[in-house]
Structure 1
Amino acid sequence: MFDVSSHPDPRPISATRISSRLFSIFLLPLIGGGVVRGEEPPSVLPLPLTSKDSAEKPATALDVDERFRLLESRLNELEHVNENLRDENRRLAEQVGRPQSQEAVESVRDADPDGWAPEEFNPTYVAPAPWHPRFDEGFVLLEPDAIAGQPFQLKVNVVSQFRYTNLSPGRKTWTDAAGTTRPIAERSDFEIQRNYLALKGFAFDPRLQFNATLLGSSAANKVAWFGWINYEFSKRFNLFGGFWKLPGSREWYESYTATQGVDRTMATTFFRPNMTGGVWATGELFKDFHYVAKIGNALNSSPLNASRKGFGMAYSGTVWWEPLGSFGPGFSDLEYHDKLAVRIGTSQTTARDDRQLDPAQAFPENTQTRLSDGTPVFETGALAPGVTLLRQTSMTSAFDLGFKWRGLSLTGEYYLRWLGDFQANGRIPFDTLYDNGGYIQAAGFLVPRKYELFVRSSYVSGRFGTGHEVGGGLNWFVYQNRNVRGTFEVLQILHSPADNILTGYRAGETGTLIQAQVITIF
């Protein structure tokens, strides 16, 4: 043993000081054993003096202090390494965002059976991944998780259309085909024209999809549901069942959020079919050739739905070809095609209409079948004095053509409609009615993907009169996409035959229509 008192260091070495440092020597292997496997072990630490060492070279108090200082330094290094490892594990856990795999769970179970869960624990259960909602063309609330065995997806979209409408009538009244004189009202109002809340996704199989949408409108003071379920067999064949549009017009089948102006044109509002329950299929038969085909209850079945009478159905379909590549959605060249993009299409609709289904408008998007002056065709006296139409057959054909190139666009659609096979409570002086009409619109970006000027015009002509509109405006794509768009438009209207509560058109309307709106898509 060495003699501490013989060392010239004047500092006393207390028993407590020596015992605490000796304790740290024995604690060191325990701390060092906590290093994660695969890490480089620390260098060999100086060992404490043994009796043999003391015999060969007497140790001094200074030697002991130096060794203790080295030990403390090594302990500090180990603590720093362990802290770094804990931080790294935490970062990895956050990146993975899910529980460890079942193999890792079983490994821990084998390594530490005494510290494992109670016997009733089900080893096949894997906790769901942490909830991390995100935005991807909608708010993604639930995502599929193969590890957790969760084959579901749920996405939410909120679409709002806020509009100011001002109509300065060019005349005070108009007279319909039945001889009824009706007022043309001035308008100046703010409305939420459309507010959509859509839930969509898939369940059990990514091909088994659903859509459930709530539509609200302060203009119509109505709330309505629509939606569908569908199974995507392939790119060529996707089968749907539910309540949705009859695809009888290109501008109608395109989303209202992608129109050139504030809303669809007067001609489209007049000729287009409506929404109805039914089954339909969509697909791309071959490259850039698309189709939609639907069998529905009627042109407008929403008022009575299951209470409707008869076996008459509505049949509607549309096809379009994009021979030079993708045309893109809507009518504005927001994608700024470097090469000319062309879309050629046609839409056909036929239906047997009953009077019971037409007058009521329980669904805000739907319209009534009207004569070319705006008179509802089923109104008593519309086709002949004192005569009420009970049933008819309608056929509508539409042909569309569109071009896009470097921010410029030119689109149009031509409509033909026949009404016939009348059944009424009296004599009608003609067997068929023929109407035609169409629209044309052109646009160009002042600043690519930002500010777009447009002009457009449409007309409707038939046995009972002719109506038309002409005007233009400005689109502002706030974030250079369709998610937020502002539109200002001025239209001059003469004898509107179209009428729909969600548009600026009212039957018989003549005057200047000024509209400004903002659409948001989240």
Structure 2
Amino acid sequence: MMKKILIGLGIVGMFLTGSAQNKIVDKYGKGFSILGKDSTFLLKANTRIQCRYDYERIDNNSKEKLFVRDAAFVRRTRIKFGGWAYSTKVKYKIEHDLLNGVTYDAVVKYNFFKGWEIWAGQTKLPGNRERVISSQALQFVDRSLLNTVFTLDRDAGIQLRNKHEIGKMIVKEMFCVSQGEGLNDKTKRPLGHEYTGRLEFLPMGNFASKGDYVSSDLKREKKPKLAIGLTYDYNQNQDLSRKVKGNKLAETRNFINFHGDFMYKYRGLSILGEYAYADVVNGAGEYKRYDSNGDFWQVGQGINLQSGYLLKNNVEISGRYSTYIPFNNVSGFNRENQYTLGLSKYVVGHYLKVQTDITLIEEMMGSALSANDLIYRLQFEVAF
């Protein structure tokens, strides 16, 4: 049903563009925009496609267990609507996955006083920087191991956001109360919500074109730019092993998450660093990381470091190190290190690009190497 509604909205939008009283923006990558003749609404529409090929070589240190596999597939097909309604202070965003029929974002944003906004609906929580960066604007084919394990992902709720200046420094505050059950979950569960707070500091001022949330220095910052972010998240009565994306367990726990990250850019050089910590406590405040069946929550620490340099021909060479370190008394989850080398060609920024990377995965059981995998990926992205 949602797919039909969105397709219908797209058809209506294209019909409206036929009116000379509507403004159409036709710059590549910016989609199209429709401005009502009385200026009481703005509708922007964008779409994008990611086509990908993966090749994996799995090696468990035994020739008998060596095998390879590959796959060609469509990774993402998204359609997005945004703009404002009645007043430029009331903005909205809708993002839908045409491939899987899932609505990712449906949020209204109201700028009620100076730099203050209140958001209501479903969207990304203010978690680790790499997760909040759009999958269209990534430096590699896909996100890191740290994000896989520790992401806060999306949820439905209310967010309060503020942005202000202290001298030349930009400061952002974000506070969120959400359902705590993840994407499109309408289940009525035992009382318990998710509480998220994030602080960001930009001591050298704003990045060009909101570049603190865009991978790679495509704008080639003329002066050094730095963004630092800290997030604390508390999710009550969670029965999934890994935040909102794990396996269902027999009991519930309260999830504690902490994220720290930074983004640095200067003259084509970009550096992203992230640290993540996750743990669980029961109702008595004890760090009990397993349930009555002996199944464990996936908790521990993670690090992600990545950097890239953009050459004059808009080819970028990049590297990434990402690791997950489970706590010592957490069974069933091994320490994992990932080393990635990437190469990207930006034809029209992140709107038209080709990216490829190769990743070595080391999975360890205690101090012994138990697995050693190699993954090669190639991806084309087209956005309108």
TM range (shorter): 0.7 to 0.9
- In the alignment, does 2:134 pair up with 1:255? yes
- Which has the larger share of helix? 1
Match of 1:284 among 154, 158, 163: 163
Letter in 1 for 2:304: Y
- In the alignment, does 2:373 pair up with 1:511? yes
Letter in 2 for 1:348: Y
- Residue 350 of structure 1 corresponds to 234
> Is the partner of 1:191 in helix, strand or coil?
strand
Q: 2 CA distance for matches of 1:509 and 1:154?
A: 50
> Is the partner of 1:478 in helix, strand or coil?
strand
> Is the partner of 1:288 in helix, strand or coil?
strand
- Mapped contact 1:391–1:423 kept (Cα < 8 A): no
- Mapped contact 2:280–2:289 kept (Cα < 8 A): no
- Residue 457 of structure 1 corresponds to 321
- Mapped contact 2:227–2:264 kept (Cα < 8 A): yes
- In the alignment, does 2:34 pair up with 1:142? yes
- Residue 11 of structure 2 corresponds to none
Further displaced range: 418-427 or 290-299:
418-427
Q: 2 CA distance for matches of 1:345 and 1:394?
A: 20
Q: 2 CA distance for matches of 1:425 and 1:434?
A: 13
- In the alignment, does 2:72 pair up with 1:190? yes
- Residue 270 of structure 2 corresponds to 409
> Is the partner of 2:127 in helix, strand or coil?
coil
Q: 2 CA distance for matches of 1:290 and 1:185?
A: 48
Structure 1 residue ranges (4+ consecutive) displaced by more than 6 angstroms after TM superposition:
427-430
> Quick one: structure 1 residues 140 and 434, their matched pair in 2 at CA, closer, same or farther if it must change by over 3 Å?
closer
- Residue 95 of structure 2 corresponds to 213
> Quick one: structure 1 residues 255 and 301, their matched pair in 2 at CA, closer, same or farther if it must change by over 3 Å?
closer
- In the alignment, does 2:292 pair up with 1:426? yes
Task: Answer with 1 or 2: which has the greater Rg.
Answer: 1
- Residue 8 of structure 2 corresponds to none
Q: 1 CA distance for matches of 2:157 and 2:137?
A: 25
Letter in 2 for 1:404: K
Structure 1 portions without partners, runs of 5+: 1-127, 174-182, 370-375, 380-388, 498-507
Shift of 1:439: 0.7
Q: 2 CA distance for matches of 1:516 and 1:199?
A: 28
- Residue 293 of structure 1 corresponds to 175
- Mapped contact 1:351–1:394 kept (Cα < 8 A): yes
- Mapped contact 1:172–1:185 kept (Cα < 8 A): no
- Mapped contact 1:301–1:308 kept (Cα < 8 A): no
> Quick one: structure 1 residues 138 and 402, their matched pair in 2 at CA, closer, same or farther if it must change by over 3 Å?
closer
Shift of 1:515: 0.5
Q: 2 CA distance for matches of 1:441 and 1:277?
A: 30
Q: 2 CA distance for matches of 1:419 and 1:343?
A: 29
Q: 2 CA distance for matches of 1:224 and 1:496?
A: 35
> Is the partner of 2:126 in helix, strand or coil?
coil
- Mapped contact 1:477–1:485 kept (Cα < 8 A): yes
RMSD over aligned Cα atoms = 3.0
Match of 2:197 among 296, 317, 338: 317
Shift of 1:186: 4.3
Match of 1:241 among 120, 134, 146: 120
Letter in 1 for 2:226: V
Structure 2 portions without partners, runs of 5+: 1-18, 283-287
What TM-score results when the alignment is normalised by the length of structure 1? Answer: 0.60
- Residue 118 of structure 1 corresponds to none
Letter in 1 for 2:60: R
Q: 2 CA distance for matches of 1:208 and 1:335?
A: 29
CA-to-partner distance for each residue in 1:118-171, whole Å, 9 max, x for gaps?
xxxxxxxxxx754453325633342143xxx34111110112211111111113
CA-to-partner distance for each residue in 1:374-431, whole Å, 9 max, x for gaps?
xx4x45xxxxxxxxx310111111111232111112221111111121598738699x
CA-to-partner distance for each residue in 1:188-224, whole Å, 9 max, x for gaps?
112221111112122222212222221133xxxx211
Q: 1 CA distance for matches of 2:177 and 2:251?
A: 22
- Residue 342 of structure 2 corresponds to 473
> Quick one: structure 1 residues 344 and 353, their matched pair in 2 at CA, closer, same or farther if it must change by over 3 Å?
same
- Residue 51 of structure 2 corresponds to 162
